Structure 1
Amino acid sequence: MNHSAMAKVSGLLLRKVSPQASRFSRPAYMGWMTVHPMPAREQSTLASGDAKEEKPIQVPKTGSENGEQKAIVSYWGVPPANLTKEDGSPWKWHCFRPWETYKADISIDVEKHHKPVKFMDKFAYWTVQALKIPTHMFFQRKHMCHAMLLETVAAVPGMVGGMLLHCQSPRRFEQSGGWIKALLEEAENERMHLMTFIELAKPQWYERAIVFAVQGVFFNAYFLTYLASPKVAHRITGYLEEEAVRSYTEFLKDLDNGSFENVPAPAIAIDYWRLPAESTLRDVVEVIRADEAHHRDVNHYASDIQCQGHQFKDVPAPLGYH
């Protein structure tokens, strides 16, 4: 029997055993026959008894190479997100979604201050006062650079607290009272502040280096502080937010007296805070200051809860309180 006849007979037998087996188990000498390796997605469907071939999903084009956009082809059944605004126009932001936008409450009292009385409060307060000295000496009235550094650091406490509470919840088999979500929500809000300022000011290499170094040191220091005492960590964050409110108040003063140009608000800020289309930088700074004031209240409140002997799991977190 020649090679051609042998190939036909073996192929027929394999198809009788399994319709798909003939695609893989061909003799080595049958070089004239094309072997089609099966994608991983198809293997998984066969394992579950579903032999249907699935068509690749065309995901919207992202990124570019040599000026040409390339589409992502996926076999995993994840549908692309086609989001739109209320007016039906396409939603162009990937870093946040329409349901994550909100109108900031700028009526909040920006003058409130937690007076340090106990040793723990005084330690937290003077730690923050010591940290702000080199920052003010370096940046002075360079509000954009100062804001970028401030927001890079401000995004750390919520993420660290949320992460550690997340690990604690399954370890102790207990609920979190919503505080995990509240703290991660705070971290995300601070990150959006930074994304907004990046649209307005392109940081230089040395500013990026400073941010990199400061965030690295602060993250590890805050992580150890939170492990040692969450109430001290939240009090420190509360005082950091008080300083952020003061910093943005100075920014607003310079915008009002003409020392800093009041440029149009970036599109990302208009969509995130649902601002009017004609909004300016002053409007953006005002809503960011309101956010910082809310973070101040949440963190002082979190510290008070633990100082009074309560647990986070027993006190509902102020979700949505930016």
Structure 2
Amino acid sequence: MKRFKLLIVFSVILILQSCNSQPEKINGVSFVAASEAVNNDHITPVVNVNANYAAVMPFGFIRNLSHPEVVFNTKRQWFGETSEGVKQYVQELRKKKIKIMLKPQIWVWHGEFTGYIEMKNEANWKTLESSYSKFILEYARLAHEVNADIFCIGTELEKFIDNRPDYWFKLIGEIKQIYKGKLTYAANWDEFKRTPFWDLLDFIGVDAYFPVSNSKTPTVEECLTGWEQHKKVINTISEKYKKPILFTEFGYRSVDYSGREPWKSDTNMMQVNLEAQTNTTKALFETFWKEDWFAGGFIWKWFRNHSKSGGENNSQYTPQNKPVEDLIKTHYALYK
């Protein structure tokens, strides 16, 4: 009888362990570059939300969509947007055992979409290639120096890739001569199916702003249904290239109709809807985090000064100080 009771206890323990242990995922935050350095007070909220990764994002700037020169590491930039800022951010994040994806990005004047960057003649294409190489290879060297866990070679540059695929294949080879860690590229949600070089990278990176619901306040069930067809396509690409999917960005604004066009940051969308943000995020977690072909992702976006960021009157993407932050904290805890 005693032996029988011990067997029952042992079986219960095994069941509980099975229920509580999930495969570790990349539970990331997109750590926004700021004008100042960071310290323990800025990193602790990242730890508290159970994140194990942060995307550190320096910036280069282009004057307009047809301008061929990337300007970066200037005194006019914010500290966190520069190489010096990256080093300091990484140092502080590492003190809390947060892993790093270094994700250099381009900002086009007036916030125009980087996917539309396209030159008007061959000379300008050559100039852009040379300029982008200087930009991205400098950060590849920095990724090597700080031992970044993942390096993202670009973000939402569809027309640049469509027009100059040979350049990108060559660039990836040059990056690999410098940086020996994991590589990805952050393709837009409607771009990743056509990105030609996934074979050469470690993760298929997707900025996951897929439309999932047309409702003013989408329910979790509506969003789960909305994800079904997208998920099939995403899984097909993963199987085709035998690479895991990484959501290099994901998240929703806390506004009405948040699941309809999640990529929109229009200032005329200001009606706060915290439930919409929570429901869309919950459905995304339930759809992907359980899949073994899914590596994880980086919530968009997380600001340095947590106590003054977000809040229940904020209509933007950040989850900080909103109900969705507790959802993220609970969910990330399952996959640490």
TM-score of Structure 1 vs Structure 2, range by shorter chain: under 0.3
Query: How high is the TM-score relative to the length of structure 2?
Result: 0.24
Bigger-Rg structure (1/2): 1
